[in-house]
Each structure stands twice: as structure tokens, then as C-alpha cells.
Amino acid sequence: MSPSASERWVDRALTDRPHPELQAGRCPLGHSAAGVEASRGFDYEYHTLRNELRGVRCPECGVWYLDPRPGEEHFPLIYPDDYSAYEMSDGSGQARGLAFRAKSLLERLKIRQYARFIDGLEGDILDVGCGDGQLLEGFQKSGFSREEMVGIDFHPTATRLCRGKGYRVLEGLFEHVDPGLDRYRLVVMNQLIEHMVDPLSALKKLTRILVPGGVAFIETPDTACLNARLAPKRYWGGYHYPRHLHLFDPRSMTQALELAGLEVVQIRHVPCPIPWITTAQAWLQERRKPPAALLRAVDWRNPMLLAFFTACDLLLLGLGTSNMQIVARRPVDRGPAIAPH
């Protein structure tokens, strides 16, 4: 049982934070039944809002979503300049710290898998939510030309860093920018669909910008994973309040992709140690007086914790990790994409 609100460490940490008025959430797949409360929690990682966030589950499809939720006008507030996706490398292009270097290595290993699925296809490569360009750098180091790569990110810090490395970047939310139709043989959308205000519309747009036979790789948290089932419903790190607006499991993700006109090629789980750590971080912050040294140690950049929970995920891989990787393809028999009116 958590202490009362006035006694929790997190409430004291959030005392001076803004408390904006949020807007109603809804099932992203269009179901009208009222969501059933599944979780509540705070921004335990960046302390951007004083609001307590409420997650509900759609009784028809099982999608988890925030209700109420932040709107796009709140994004500059809830994505601060020190958000981790914007500081993967230093000014020299070298990955920051052991945690970032390990992530950079893992991304390069994934690129080998991406390449197998797009062999023989023509078109550019698009990284949606490119951050500072770490994945694009990985593609370049793997032999892809800089000219065939494009990034999209809404945050000016991310686009500035990425452009500084010489990559083409479209600035804005994926939902609002025009990346071109029938253009990309590969679109990577890692840890992004859960942040989108309207994920189904984004997936439909994804279908339109792929060439026939083009492939999308999507990584997103899995609400049916072991970590989510073991964690008290308030604390699971995959909720990532208030930035994760919608969360899926394999069944609901498949439904969303099929509604968007994509074929699901495979869904598998990949190691993802960070939610184990942020789960513990959230639990600690709900205590009355957590030890300061422990609060500092329970951080996703702690290499010892990353190594330990990566090993745990590898051992438990068959039970499902917090991160599912989906491979989806635009059917080859579809005609040219038609832009929405």
C-alpha cells in the first residue's frame, strides 16, 4: 500500500510542476465502450507534470490508453530537452556512456535483420522518431548511403542534432509532415507508436508511404509481457506516464495493422531491460522516505542494472519481454497510394 499523497516522495518532487488541463482519451481502434481503469501513476522519470495519470483498457480490443491524456500542445512540456532520445551521442558523434554505446551496438545488429527483409527492393529508408540520428548513423556504418536515408522528429533539439550529422530530417509530428507517397522500402518506427495521438491514422499513413512490398519495423511495449503482469499495476515502467498515450499487446497490435492495410509478417520479443528498472524507480518514488543513494542507483543508465535485467530478459525471452518487435509489409498487389483528402 502506498503512503498517503502528502507523504509520498513523488508528490514532494512534483510540488512546483504545472498541472495542465488534459483532454479525454479514447480507444485508438474506434471502439466506443468506456475504458475500464487499469492503472494510475505519475511522471516518475522526468517529473514534468503534477497530474496523476489514469490508464484504462478498452473492453473490446484490450488496448490500454490514457484517459484523460495530454494533447499535442503539451508535448513541449512533457518532452524536455534532456529527454533520453535527444542525447544519445555527444558532439563528436560518439555514443554517450556505456548504456548508450550498448544501445548503439544493438541498433547495428538490428540493421542486419532489417536488410534481410528489404533485399531487392528499391526506395529510401525512413526513421520515424529519429532522435539525434543514432539509427541513421548505424545504417551508414552498415553500408547504406546517406542520400537514401531520411529522418522525422518533432523536437527541434533532435532535428538540430541529426541535421548536424548531415542527415535529411523532416521536422514535425509524423502525422503532420509529408514524407512522400510510395517512396520507402523500409520504415523504422521504434518506440514511437505508443506516443502518437492517433496511432491508427499513423499506421494508415505508413501504408501509403511504403512502396508495394515495402517493410515496416515497429517496436513498442507489450502490455501482456511478464514484467507488466508481475509489476503492481501502478508501477510498470512501460506506462512511461505521461508520454505513452496508447499501449498494445500482440493481438491488438495485429488488429491495428490489419485495419491500416498492412500484413503482419512476424511478431517477436526482444530484450528490453529498461522497464524493469523504471518499474523499481516508480515503486521507490511512491515510498515515504526512499534512501537517496538507492534513488540515484535505480536509474536506467546504471550499467550494472542494465546488464542484470538484460540477462533476465534473455533467460525469460520465451515468456515475453516488455518490448515486442513487429514486422509488417505493404501488400504487393495494392495499387498506387492515394493521398487522403
pTM of the model: 0.89
Residues 213-232, mean pLDDT to the nearest whole number: 94
For residue 340, being part of any structural domain is answered with no
Domain count, the chain: 1
* Predicted local distance difference test score (pLDDT) of residue 6: 64
Residue 83 in any domain: the answer is yes
Rounded to 5 degrees, φ, ψ at 69 are: -135, 160
pLDDT over threshold 50, residue 152: yes
Residue 92 burial (CB count, 10 A) = 5
Tell me the average pLDDT across 281-291: 95
Between 9-23, 175-189, 280-294, 326-340, the lowest mean confidence (pLDDT) is in 326-340
Query: Over pLDDT 90: what percentage of the chain?
Result: 75
Question: What does each C-alpha distance from 76 to 1, 43, 154, 316 come to in angstroms?
Answer: 34, 15, 10, 37
List all residues 6 or more positions away from 60 whose beta carbon is below 8 Å from its beta carbon.
27, 29, 31, 33
Q: What percent of the chain has pLDDT over 70?
A: 89
Read off the CATH number of the domain in which 124 is found.
Answer: 3.40.50.150
- pLDDT, tens only, 166-185: 999 999 999 999 999 999 99
Amino acid at 328: A
Strand ranges, E, within 117-180: 124-128, 149-153, 168-171
Residue-level pLDDT at 157? 87
Q: Which residues of 265-302 are buried (b: 16+ CB within 10 A; e: fewer)?
A: eebebbbbbbbbbbbbbbbbbbbeebeeeeeeebebeb
Is the pLDDT higher at 77 or at 339?
77
Domain that holds residue 197: 5-329
Does residue 98 carry a pLDDT above 60? Answer: no
pLDDT > 50? residue 92: no
Residue 224 placed within a domain: yes
Residue 334: inside a domain: no
The residue-averaged pLDDT of 308-322 equals: 92
Average pLDDT value for residue range 290-304: 93
d(CA 282, CA 25): 23
Give per-residue pLDDT as tens, 104-145. 667 777 888 898 999 889 999 999 999 889 899 989 988 899
Residue 336 maps to a domain: no
Got the DSSP string for 7-64?
G-HHHHHTTTS--PPPB----TT---SPPEEEEEE--TTT----PPEEEEE-TTT--E
Instruction: Assign 97 a pLDDT band (cuts: 50, 70, 90).
Output: low
Is 226 inside a domain boundary?
yes
What 3-state class would DSSP assign to 326? strand
pLDDT at residue 174 in the model: 94
